[in-house]
Amino acid sequence: MPAPGILVTGGAGFIGSHTCVALIAAGYRPVVLDTLVNSDARSLKRVACITGIEPVLVRADVRDAAALDRAFAAHPVRAVVHLAGLKAVGESVADPLGYYDVNLAGTLSLVQAMGRAGVRTLVFSSSATVYGDSHPSPIPESAACNAVNPYGRTKAMVESVLADLSRSDGRWGIACLRYFNPVGAHESGLLGELPHGPPNNLMPYVAQVAAGERDCLVVHGADYDTADGTGVRDYVHVMDVAEGHVAALRHAARRPGVLMTNLGTGHGASVLEVVSAFERASGRRIALRIGPRRPGDAPAYWADARGAFLALGWRARRDLDQMCADSWRWQAANPHGFDDPAPAFAANLPRFQDNSGADTDANINSNVGHSHA
Amino acid sequence: MPAPGILVTGGAGFIGSHTCVALIAAGYRPVVLDTLVNSDARSLKRVACITGIEPVLVRADVRDAAALDRAFAAHPVRAVVHLAGLKAVGESVADPLGYYDVNLAGTLSLVQAMGRAGVRTLVFSSSATVYGDSHPSPIPESAACNAVNPYGRTKAMVESVLADLSRSDGRWGIACLRYFNPVGAHESGLLGELPHGPPNNLMPYVAQVAAGERDCLVVHGADYDTADGTGVRDYVHVMDVAEGHVAALRHAARRPGVLMTNLGTGHGASVLEVVSAFERASGRRIALRIGPRRPGDAPAYWADARGAFLALGWRARRDLDQMCADSWRWQAANPHGFDDPAPAFAANLPRFQDNSGADTDANINSNVGHSHA
């Protein structure tokens, strides 16, 4: 029996490429649909270095209905993991229409095409930003959605659309994954985050300071009401997040309805704790200076992670030290990202490792490079 | 100076055609963009009977970006009144994707085309359904939006998108009009509501019972906690609503930002009060029987109408008796809708009457049939 195909929109991006690794490890065959606007096709070569299987790439936009119909016709898939979207909060404030168009109208376009193709299993990349900044932590899934920026509102609106869809047609199985702060990289050092320009997020910035690419980390506020005064977030290893997608996919394929679930570790780490962990992992000193608070930043939030364990049997298994170690391995081995050749030690990696749960839907014992002719 | 052009999407429909009458009366020249999926182009002939001016009709869908660009190029307009959309609550529960596509993605498509055309004044037809059913009446605009069905959520989401757009670009002037229950018809008897199939709403149903087209009105619940046990709504004359659009257009053209405002009378009428008023207006007896409550119906709600008066200088001026009298005049003279010839008394009507406020942006003294070559 051939491995079941899964369409992964945005599959060449940071979370997408790691999710491809986890899907292949779990016996699925990802078909990546990506515009490559904010990602790099060479990430899929790295997926192949790790797993022996290079996902097919369909270069297309989820807003292009005809392209979606062609993709579903050419690549029969059982389910869709929908990660494609714009993700910078600040940019969403400046260009809300662009964000609503890509994230919301794009998802509408995708689910309509899924309906035409008879594919009704969907995992959607939502975000903890749907909660807004007024909830005490840990934040359970039952907390009200009060997103405070257009990016978060695009995610909350998509969740609402998908809930209505599920209520109207009981054949759909849908899981919305509310990511907290995915960081780190694949443990092989072959795959990681590739920020365009100065990183918006803490860990890639810290990694670049450790590597000497940037002089100094600016800490945005050290006078918050937290243990050390700096902001606290729920950092979660990207491979845990990737495996969460596999667990959510299995759930959605078996249980009609819609599930909203957090993907977080269930505890927070402060900026200074991240810096210390990164110093330990890298053996480098991270220069930092304290700057003013950034408008719109919440002091602290982290997930209630119990819902995901109850619903999916998933929990994050990699700690902050591993997030930093893997992030540093990726940064050190690929100072120029995918412009660097795949490190030589890749050949010595185990083919793949299934950390995504007990029940595998399909076995793969092929290392053929392409999944579809 | 030529009359300023206003693009009216959905301008051939019930509220749209009456809004065209009010716009022409106020010195504007409507350009109607409509698919005619749930409306009839002959409504625009009736607009011409009343006003002497027949709006140009562009038959197109707001989701068609190229068609919008062509429309803006061919018909220079100063502003857009966006009424096109799907509006049946029950249908939205069964087909949420269709509703999100037309109402939400359609509005995104429209405002993007407006941006390309440099038109940044917009009046949007929202709905009191954005409030949901948990607020005490009268409902002020500050009440939280908790829509309880997909139709209401499409309207709330569009409002949120437009608010984000306005925050991102101070050149936009936007007014969102939260209609309560528009009923009635133009006082000429030439223009009114044309339901396809059995009416979803009370007043056209009552009108059809009065006309002998239907046997009996079924009252959905007479055991509510209201004065006479039947449901209470804020019925507002469609010509008051139409004039509210003109007032909102003037507001939006002059004041950047986004305004959310109710269009209601500020008081409720029960089903039995509407039936009595209609019996008085028509001189007919309305047969009715009491049925069970309909799931999802709220017992009673009406608008806080003070905000609209403060912001726009607008308030509803026609009472329930006039709503019924005008509805009956339309029903009696046009039992087959626009299949009936325009009644002979149309020729004796005053050309038009401006009830929309004190300040007119332009005078018209032309009765030429088409506004643009």
> What pLDDT is attached to residue B197?
81
Q: Per-residue b/e over A120-151, b at no fewer than 16 CB within 10 Å?
A: bbbbbbbbbbbbbeebebbbebebebebebbb
Chain A residue with minimum CA distance to B93: A168
**pLDDT at residue A368 is higher than 90:** no
Which chain A residues are closer than 8 Å to B148 by Cβ? Answer: none
Verify whether the Cβ–Cβ distance B164 to A157 is below 8 Å. Answer: no
Residue B159's pLDDT is what?
98
Any A CB within 8 A of B288 CB: no
Ranges of chain B with pLDDT below 70: 343-373
Asked if residues A118 and A170 have their Cβ atoms less than 8 Å apart, the reply is no
Q: Using 50, 70 and 90 to split pLDDT, how confident is the model at A362?
A: very low
Nearest residue to B134 via CA among B124, B120, B144, B149: B144
Chain A to chain B, count of Cβ pairs less than 8 Å apart?
67
Range in A105-119, A285-299, A353-367 with the lowest mean pLDDT: A353-367
CATH node for A5-186+236-265+302-317+339-348: 3.40.50.720
Residues whose CB falls within 8 Å of the CB of residue B74, separated by 6 or more in sequence, listed in order = B58, B372
CB contact under 8 Å between B97 and A153, yes or no, is no
> Residue A361: its pLDDT value, please?
43
**Least CB–CB distance from A164: residue in B153, B161, B165:** B153
Q: Tell me the percentage of chain A whose pLDDT exceeds 70.
A: 92
Residues of B in contact with A111 (CB under 8 A): 97
Do the beta carbons of residue A28 and residue A36 sit within 8 Å? no
Hey, what's the torsion of the CAs at A279, A280, A281, A283, to 10 degrees? Answer: 70
What integer pLDDT is reported at residue B349 of this predicted model?
A: 54
How much is the pLDDT for A2? 86
Tell me how far apart the alpha carbons of residues B198 and A35 are, in angstroms, rounded to a whole number. Answer: 47
Determine the residue of chain B that is closest to A112 in CA distance: B97
Tokens in use for A125? 């990349």
Nearest chain B residue (CA) to A91: B168
pLDDT value at residue B342 = 76
CB distance A100–B150 less than 8 Å?
no
The alpha-carbon gap from A180 to the nearest alpha carbon of chain B, in Å, equals 24
Interface of B with A in 110-149 (CB under 8 A): 111-112, 115
pLDDT tens string A172-228: 999 999 999 999 999 999 999 987 788 889 999 999 999 999 999 999 999 999 999
The CA angle A115-A251-A146, to the nearest 5 degrees, is 80
What's the start-to-end Cα distance of chain A, in Å? 16
Which of A151, A179, A224, A235 is catalytic? The answer is A151
Backbone angles phi, psi at A192, to 5 degrees: -165, -165
Residues of A in contact with B95 (CB under 8 A): 168
Q: Please give the C-alpha separations between residue B66 and each of A112, B26, B36, B61, B170, in angstroms, as whole numbers.
A: 21, 30, 18, 10, 26
Rounded to a whole number, what is the distance in angstroms from the first to the last CA of chain B? 16
Interface test with B, best of A107, A157, A171, A258 (most B CBs within 10 A): A157
Mean pLDDT, residues A79-108 taken together = 97
The ipTM assigned to this model is: 0.89
Q: Which residues of B touch A160 (CB under 8 A)?
A: 153, 157
Packed helices B271-282 and B202-210: angle between N→C axes, nearest 10 degrees:
40
**More confident of the two residues A12 and B368:** A12
Please answer whether residues A80 and A123 qualify as being in contact, where contact means their C-beta atoms are separated by less than 8 angstroms.
Answer: yes
Answer yes or no: do B164 and A153 touch at CB < 8 A.
yes
Residues from chain A contacting residue B167 (CB–CB below 8 Å): 93, 96
Give me the residues of B, 146-185, that contact A with CB < 8 A: 150, 153, 157, 160-161, 164-165, 167-168
Q: Please give the Cα distance from A126 to A324 (Å, whole number).
A: 24
> Does the annotation mark A151 as catalytic?
yes
CA torsion angle A131 A311 A165 A60 (round to 10)? 80
* Alpha carbon distances (Å) from A153 to A97, B156, B201, B287: 12, 12, 32, 48
Nearest residue, CB atoms, B150 vs list A93, A115, A164: A164
Which helix (H) or strand (E) covers residue A9, if one does?
A: strand A5-9
Q: What is the mean pLDDT of residues A325-352?
A: 77
User: Which residue out of B100, B151, B179, B205 is catalytically annotated?
Assistant: B151
Rounded to whole angstroms, what are the CA distances from B63 to A84, A310, B305? 22, 42, 33
Sketch the domain layout of chain A as residue ranges. Answer: 5-186+236-265+302-317+339-348
Q: pTM for this structure?
A: 0.91
DSSP state of A63: T
The answer to whether the Cβ–Cβ distance between A96 and B161 falls below 8 Å is yes
Of A346 and B244, more confident: B244
pLDDT tens per residue across span B33-49: 999 999 999 999 999 99
